[in-house]
Amino acid sequence: MPGVSSFRTTTATRAGLGALSGLLAGCAALAAAELTAALVRPASGPVPVVGGAVIDRTPAPVKDFAIRTFGEHDKLVLQLGILVLLFLFAIALGILALRHRRTAAAGVVVLGIVGGAAALSRPDSAGAADILPSVAAALAGAAVLSVLVGRAGPTGPSRRTEGGGGGWSRRGFLNAAAATAAAAATAGALGRVLSGERGQGAVASRDALRLPAPASPAPALAAGTRLKAAGISPFTTPNRDFYRVDTALTVPMVDAGAWRLRIHGKEVARPRTHTLDELLARPLIERDITLTCVSNEVGGPYLGTARWLGVPLADLLREAGVRPPSQGGAADQLVARSVDGMTLGSPVEDVMDGRDAMLAIGMNGEPLPFDHGFPVRMLVPGLYGYVSACKWITDIELTTFDAYDPYWVKRRWARRAPVKTQSRIDTPKPFARPAAGPVTVAGVAWAQRRGITRVEVRVDDGPWQDADLAVQAGVDTWRQWSYPWQATPGGHTITVRATDGTGQVQTEQRTRTVPDGASGRHSVFVTVP
Ligand SMILES: Nc1nc2c(c(=O)[nH]1)N[C@H]1C(S)=C(S)[C@@H](COP(=O)(O)O)O[C@H]1N2
Ligand SMILES: [Mo]
């Protein structure tokens, strides 16, 4: 029986050493990339760029599946998935390297190339510098792999040194492995600290920002705007609860002092670049507006209402010389571009038709949170977020729908997407077991730009019954509703439908979210014991 302590190089032991070498090489590669990215540009790290490239290439239905399944953890799941794949690959390369050095080396190069190509393919790529983290990762990975695998075997006579007749140097390997782990941890931690510091300027600029009072404050909310039903969505969604949907794996940290917004393009007679201070000096409007994501399923969570403070966008456009198509303007599409390269296209007509389209700076009384687009984002009431609500905006280009397809349109989503009339039951929750007797059914209904005039509830196949409506705050916000139900024992399906300000009743025709938003009616099944 071979003594365990002699570490004879059985096949299994050697494979284990190879695997460990690969794992450590993977750690070293990641740490090197992290550190380099921190020095070059935090968003150019290999996990964000590969993740970003994956997101860019994800077909709309799969993206929707991810949002449905993992909710706002979708990005975390993606990054963990990439790490798991990377480590599995690294382990395989480590085992392979024991016998086939060249092939393993080629594998490392391939990984480096994948990372570099992903970096260059990102819309916010800063150019060749973005491949540096991948190069550093490949070099560090290859170096660690070659040193560790060299100590783990193969068993040439020159390598028979210490260690009771085993084919490798136990102490040499362990020392090298420990040194690698320590170096990787240090480099990784240093990278974290450095990229953290980069964000400090942005954080400080946000802390220092004092929002001016609006020239046109939001109308005071009537007492009846908020219903008291337990479990209903609050009329104003607190910032920390506001849904977040974007493709950013690393949230852009923009320094307000360095931020610029350029307005230019087709028939823009007076192109301009604005600073934040210039925008803050203008008359600001404050409005309650409900923002909705096109990926929101019937009954889904991806919408919220906030009190936004911002610059009327139509005024800025008019000053630049832009005319809406109805007044002879030749540009019918406004393309907003963010610092991370996202593009969103809105109809110029909608932006300039008198609605409260704005460049928002404040959200519920504070500067925009970083997640929601600090320092400035666009908002156009009545349009889904993907065709209007550009976060971290930095560029507005006037063009035509014929000439340019923005990010989501290239991925099967519709060019134009006004929000559909919808309603949601917030309470009772699906599969709840309320006691027989009075049960409050309540929720929200929305049809931005048109408003909600009626909400009806139906239990099983019974008649549609009018729900009680909260006071309407405005046509651009959702409206709460509630319905006093006398629950009787048994299983029941509760369904809701809304009617908008044009008299249109919410359709029962079910459609998917792709290409222009889900339609159909929300129902909830409950059991009354
Ligand atoms: N830069 C950028 N802006 C963006 C997006 C994005 O991915 N990147 N997503 C859009 C989509 S699809 C929606 S629904 C809204 C969501 O805004 P929120 O995250 O503040 O709720 O932002 C829009 N603006
Ligand atoms: Mo969205």
Per-residue pLDDT reduced to its tens digit, 381-422:
999 999 999 999 999 999 999 999 999 999 889 999 999 999
On whether both 113 and 185 belong to a single domain, the answer is yes
CA-proximal residue: ligand 1, atom 16 (nearest) = 245
Q: Are 32 and 136 members of one domain?
A: yes
242: Cβ below 6 Å to ligand 1?
yes
Q: Which ligand is nearest to the CA of 304?
A: 1
Q: How far is C-alpha 313 from the geometric centre of its chain's CA atoms? A: 24
Rounded distance from Cα 483 to ligand 1 centre (Å): 33
- Residue 358 Cα, ligand 2 centroid: separation in angstroms? 18
| Closest listed residue to residue 498, CA positions, set 421, 400, 391 | 421
CB 58 within 8 A of CB 66: yes
Structure tokens at 13: 């032991």
Whether 245 is in the pocket of ligand 1, judged by its Cβ within 6 Å, is yes
Q: Are residues 268 and 396 in the same domain?
A: yes
Structure tokens at 444: 């929200």
Mutate to test the pocket of ligand 1, among 293, 391, 516 (most ligand atoms within 8 A of CB): 391
What's phi and psi for 291, nearest 5 deg? -105, 135
Nearest listed ligand to the Cα of residue 391: 1
| 471 contacts 425 by C-beta, under 8 angstroms | no
In this structure, what are the phi and psi dihedrals at residue 426, rounded to the nearest 5 degrees?
-85, -35
Q: Is 246 in the pocket of ligand 1 (CB under 6 A)?
A: yes
Query: Closest Cα to residue 428, out of 527, 341, 510, 350?
Result: 527
- Cα radius of gyration rounded to whole Å, the chain: 29
> From the CB of 407, is ligand 1 less than 6 Å away?
no
Q: What whole-number distance in Å separates Cα of residue 51 and Cα of residue 76? A: 10
Q: What is the pLDDT of residue 507?
A: 98
Separation of first and last alpha carbons in the chain: 67
Q: Read off the pTM.
A: 0.86
Residue 144 in domain: yes
Task: State the pLDDT at residue 500.
Answer: 98
Cα separation of 155 and 206, whole Å?
60
Q: Give the pLDDT of residue 9.
A: 61
Total residues found in the chain within this entry: 529
The verdict on the CB of residue 244 being under 6 Å from ligand 1 is yes
Do residues 37 and 195 touch, judged by C-beta distance below 8 A?
yes
DSSP string, 135-200: HHHHHHHHHHHHHHHHHH----GGG--SSTT-SS-HHHHHHHHHHHHHHHHHHHHHHHHHHHHHHH
**Whether residue 270 sits in one domain with residue 169:** no
Nearest CA to ligand 1 atom 6: 246
The residue behind tokens 């929101």 is: 296
Residues 181 and 288 in one domain: no
Domain boundary among 346, 378, 411: 411
Same structural domain for residues 165 and 273?
no
Q: In angstroms, what is the span from residue 379 Cα to ligand 1's centroid?
A: 10
pLDDT value at residue 161: 43
**Among 386, 396, 513, 516, residue to substitute to test ligand 1 (most atoms within 8 Å of Cβ):** 386
Whether residues 381 and 443 share a domain: the answer is: no
> How would you classify residue 490: left for phi > 0, otherwise alpha for psi between -120 and 50, otherwise beta?
left
Domain annotation covers residue 223: no
**Res 312: pLDDT:** 98
Domain count, the chain: 3
Tell me the CA–centroid distance for residue 57 and ligand 2, in Å: 17
The domain containing residue 446 runs over which residues?
A: 422-528
Can you give the pLDDT of all 529 residues of the chain as single tens digits? 444 444 556 788 888 889 999 999 999 998 998 889 888 887 788 788 888 888 888 877 777 777 767 777 788 888 888 888 888 999 999 999 989 988 998 999 888 898 888 888 887 777 788 889 899 999 999 999 988 888 876 544 444 444 444 456 788 888 888 988 998 888 888 888 887 777 889 999 999 999 999 999 999 999 999 999 999 999 999 999 999 999 888 899 999 999 999 999 999 999 999 999 999 999 999 999 999 999 999 999 999 999 999 999 999 999 999 999 999 999 999 999 999 999 999 999 999 999 999 999 999 999 999 999 999 999 999 999 999 999 999 999 999 999 999 999 998 899 999 999 999 999 999 999 999 999 999 999 999 999 999 999 999 999 999 999 999 999 999 999 999 999 999 999 999 999 999 999 999 999 999 999 999 999 999 999 9
Q: State whether the beta carbon of 426 lies less than 6 angstroms from ligand 1.
A: no
* Domain identity same for 485 and 347: no
Instruction: Dig out the tokens for 305 from the structure.
Output: 């209402």
- Residue 8's pLDDT is what? 56
pLDDT of residue 121: 86
Name which residue sits closest to atom 12 of ligand 1, judged by CA: 386
Q: According to the model, what pLDDT value does residue 162 have?
A: 41
In a domain, 232, yes or no: no
- Do 70 and 194 lie in a common domain? yes
Is residue 385 within 6 Å of ligand 1 at its C-beta?
yes
| pLDDT given for residue 153 in this prediction | 65
Contact 294, 386 (CB under 8 A): yes
Query: How remote is the CA of residue 200 from the centroid of ligand 2, in Å?
Result: 28
- Which residue has the CA at smallest separation from atom 18 of ligand 1? 244
Alpha carbon separation from 284 to 254, 281, 308, 364 (Å, rounded): 22, 8, 10, 14
